[in-house]
Amino acid sequence: MKTWLMKRNCSLTPRRLIQFYAVLVGFSLAVAIGFLIVGVWMVLIFTFIELTAVTLGFLIYSRHALDFEEIKIDGAVLTITRFIGSKTEQFQMNARWTTLSKPPKNPKVFVLTCANQAIELGQFLRPEQQRKLLSELRPWLG
């Protein structure tokens, strides 16, 4: 069995993001409460607007932080798993009948095709990583 895992390059894991968010919220609220104590209540309103925008951005970021694509070959069975957003897709193909190609329109990805199924993969790879993966994958395919 051979497995290739292609993950999104994210600097912050969801756990670190939550820690950073907690510190950011704590600091922003401390500043806003400080201004509220001296009588400048408008700062509190803008702090809530700021924290709402930051929360929305972090929710979007964290939704895609764990995205991945995985290729597994076990004998003649090729299994492809994609986890994008909160949606998981899994495909199975015959490794001996599967072909590998690069579409001319989008050279950032590659396509695995078997019968009437064509699956684009490699969106998380840099060009040099993709070349290495394709050279490792080709001998396993028909």
Say how far apart CA 125 and CA 77 lie, in whole Å: 23
CATH numeric code, 2-6+69-140: 2.30.29
Average pLDDT of the residues in 108-132: 93
Domain residue extents for the chain: 2-6+69-140, 14-64
Q: How confident is the model at residue 96 (pLDDT cuts 50, 70, 90)?
A: very high
Q: What is the pLDDT of residues 29-53, one digit of tens each?
A: 999 999 999 999 999 999 999 999 9
**pTM of the complete model:** 0.77
